[in-house]
Structure 1
Amino acid sequence: MSPGQTPPGPHPVDDGLVRRLVAGQFPRWAELPVRRFPSGGTVNAMFRLGDDMAVRLPLTRGGAADVSLEQEWLPRLAPRLPVAVPEALAAGEPAEGYPWPWSVYRWLAGENPVAGALDEPVFLAEDLAGFVAAMRGVALPGAPAAYRGGPLAALDAPTRAAIEELRGIPEEGVDCDAVTAVWEDAVRAPAWDGPPVWLHADLMPGNLLVGGGRLTAVIDFGCTGAGDPACDLFPAWNLLPAGAREVFREALGVDDATWARGRARTLSQALIALPYYRETNPAMAGNARHVIRAVLEER
């Protein structure tokens, strides 16, 4: 989200709407209980459908475009990846006043990891590296451009605008000169000049599921596609502590320039998210603060 940009408000959804949509289009599931699943996400709403399924409804027009993307690519990506990914069981259509396509998925068990409270950070780092490496190794032709896969320079203006916005929020305590220096160093680093690789492109803690400290699933592939491999280094700063971060880097064999771009991309996302979500989404704002601290501590 660019600073100063105000998107249309999310479309209202509730249990009753989901029951009507399911009953009208998939009557075999009409008697199953529906309950909203709490999430810090901003693009989709998730509802449990019985014990084994989930209904996922976009909250915005932009999120609606992700439905067809996932339904097209997830079945082809799934057998090539080392952990579970969402499995679409049915594709819903607009109805009952709800304007966009939606999906029914098989339920994936697990919990979102929390930065600073990981049970097995080194094992999780290894698992994340295995997932990222597997994505990079996908050779499926016709990949769309990843949502965050373009040149780092394209983020320069919104990142600088976010830094200036944070200067006006002194209570956040962001060292704006220090983050500017990190950003400028990265922008001067060599740009990615290799072939684009497959990316998840949104490896936030809320899109990861863990069990027993290990990665069990990766969800929300709405940003997936091909681009700069630095885009899938986000967990190094938004989740992993310093020691596990190095394990993650070594397992992927990341060179200095790619590491700098990955750090800067993660920082940019955090800088833009913090002023936007600080009063409306505690989970997103909290992770943004964590990223800023992690990046500055690494300097």
Structure 2
Amino acid sequence: MHEGQLDVTPETVRELVDAQFPEWRSLAVRPVASPGTVNAIFRIGERFTARFPLQPQEVAAARRWLEREAAAARELLGRTRSPSPEPVAIGEPGGDYPLPWSVQTWLPGVIAADEDPGDSVAFAHDLAEFVRDVRAIDTRGRTFEGQGRGGELPAHDEWMETCFRHSETLLDVPLLRRTWAVLRELPRGDTPDRMTHGDLIPGNVLVAEGRLAGVLDVGGLGPADPALDLVGAWHLLESGPRRALRERLGCDDLEWERGRAWAFAQAMGVVWYYERTNPAMSRMGRRTLARITADPPSA
């Protein structure tokens, strides 16, 4: 999926686990099939999940991210009714793997990419509750750091132009350009940053019997535009449950449209970038864009 992507084999994981966590030598190691794009994921026994970053980077930078991810997971733990992973350990480079890696608790459930909850109003209510609970976490004076989604929409113009250029043969780019031209103008107003998960896509959400069973990839937890977590309305829900989520959260028009804008920007990126290397992610982006353009923003 990425240039220079690291290869992580079960044999390498077994070697690293045995050497660094000998108390787990008796536990089976097995890969987890996932549409995720950041980590290779392996189960260690029944209780733990090992996550190995796929993109080459400096060891110090990788360790800082894993430490930040663990801190975010601890901050979220127990703050929502829906469970989230608990950080367990950070492993060191070794054998054929050159970077630090992490261990978290395993959460039961099926990712929404495999068990679509899009028609479930009950799931929409669960998701709204999760968003509301995350927003209630104290920012402790922190504000958006200025990287990635969650600040000002026009800051993403250059990236969107890259996406439009790469999508010429894949999507109705003239329509999508017109859509972005409207969305990018949405004002932020004086709404303060609130805590957000930041990446509520199907691969990061667990489902059981049509209900929200857990939320994964919580390392991006942090202060941002509170509309950011509304991306889940477009990535995860059809029109009826989407309205139910909006009603449960009490979103005004501006907040709702900014959530649409953040979902649009994310979806535009994954369609072309993962078209050949991660078709599930690319299809997710196409579905999100179809939902957005079927219910266009007001000019």
Assess same fold via TM > 0.5: yes
Do 1:148 and 1:223's aligned partners in 2 also have CA atoms closer than 8 Å? no
* Amino acid of the structure 2 residue aligned with 1:247: A
Structure 1 residue 140: deviation in Å?
Answer: 4.6
Q: What are the superposed Cα offsets for residues 41-76 of structure 1, whole Å, 9 maximum, x if unpaired?
A: 111111011122111111123766431112112122
Structure 1 residue 86: deviation in Å?
Answer: 0.7
Counterpart CA distance in 2 for 1:266 and 1:251 is 19
Structure 1 residue 115: deviation in Å?
Answer: 8.5
Match of 1:3 in 2: none
Which moved further from structure 2: 258-267 or 211-220? 258-267
Do 1:143 and 1:198's aligned partners in 2 also have CA atoms closer than 8 Å? no
TM-score by length of 1: 0.90
Q: What are the superposed Cα offsets for residues 209-254 of structure 1, whole Å, 9 maximum, x if unpaired?
A: 0111111110102322111011111111111000000111111111
Counterpart CA distance in 2 for 1:76 and 1:279 is 36
Match of 2:155 in 1: 154
SS at match of 1:56: strand
Counterpart CA distance in 1 for 2:253 and 2:19 is 54
Match of 1:105 in 2: 104
Counterpart CA distance in 2 for 1:294 and 1:11 is 34
Do 2:16 and 2:95's aligned partners in 1 also have CA atoms closer than 8 Å? yes
Q: What are the superposed Cα offsets for residues 3-38 of structure 1, whole Å, 9 maximum, x if unpaired?
A: xxx954221111011111111111010121111000
Counterpart CA distance in 2 for 1:122 and 1:192 is 30
**Which of 267, 272, 276 does residue 270 from structure 1 map onto?**
267
Q: Does 1:67 align with 2:66?
A: yes
Structure 1 residue 287: deviation in Å?
Answer: 0.2
SS at match of 2:97: coil
Q: How many residues align?
A: 290
CA gap of 1:102–1:296, structure 2 versus 1, over 3 A, is same
Q: Does 1:29 align with 2:24?
A: yes
Matches within 5 A, 1:67-106: 67-106=66-105
Counterpart CA distance in 2 for 1:11 and 1:184 is 38
**Which of 47, 53, 58 does residue 52 from structure 1 map onto?**
47
SS at match of 1:46: strand
Matches within 5 A, 1:212-251: 212-251=209-248
**Identity percentage over the alignment?**
38
Q: What are the superposed Cα offsets for residues 111-150 of structure 1, whole Å, 9 maximum, x if unpaired?
A: 0114894386101110111011111110152647464222
Structure 1 residue 290: deviation in Å?
Answer: 0.2
- Segments of 5+ residues of structure 1 without an aligned counterpart are 1-5
Do 1:82 and 1:131's aligned partners in 2 also have CA atoms closer than 8 Å? yes
SS at match of 1:54: strand
- Segments of 5+ residues of structure 2 without an aligned counterpart are none
Do 1:115 and 1:238's aligned partners in 2 also have CA atoms closer than 8 Å? no
Counterpart CA distance in 1 for 2:7 and 2:143 is 30
SS at match of 1:80: coil
Counterpart CA distance in 2 for 1:226 and 1:121 is 29
CA gap of 1:8–1:64, structure 2 versus 1, over 3 A, is farther
TM-score by length of 2: 0.90
SS at match of 2:95: coil
- The runs of at least 4 consecutive aligned structure 1 residues that moved more than 6 Å come to none
Do 1:209 and 1:215's aligned partners in 2 also have CA atoms closer than 8 Å? yes
Do 2:118 and 2:241's aligned partners in 1 also have CA atoms closer than 8 Å? no
* Amino acid of the structure 2 residue aligned with 1:78: L
Match of 2:15 in 1: 20
Counterpart CA distance in 2 for 1:238 and 1:248 is 13
* Amino acid of the structure 1 residue aligned with 2:165: E
Counterpart CA distance in 2 for 1:89 and 1:115 is 27
Counterpart CA distance in 1 for 2:173 and 2:118 is 32
* Amino acid of the structure 2 residue aligned with 1:27: P
Q: CA RMSD in A?
A: 2.0
Q: Does 1:166 align with 2:171?
A: no
Counterpart CA distance in 1 for 2:110 and 2:256 is 28
**Which of 291, 295, 299 does residue 298 from structure 1 map onto?**
295
CA gap of 1:164–1:291, structure 2 versus 1, over 3 A, is same
Counterpart CA distance in 2 for 1:16 and 1:115 is 27
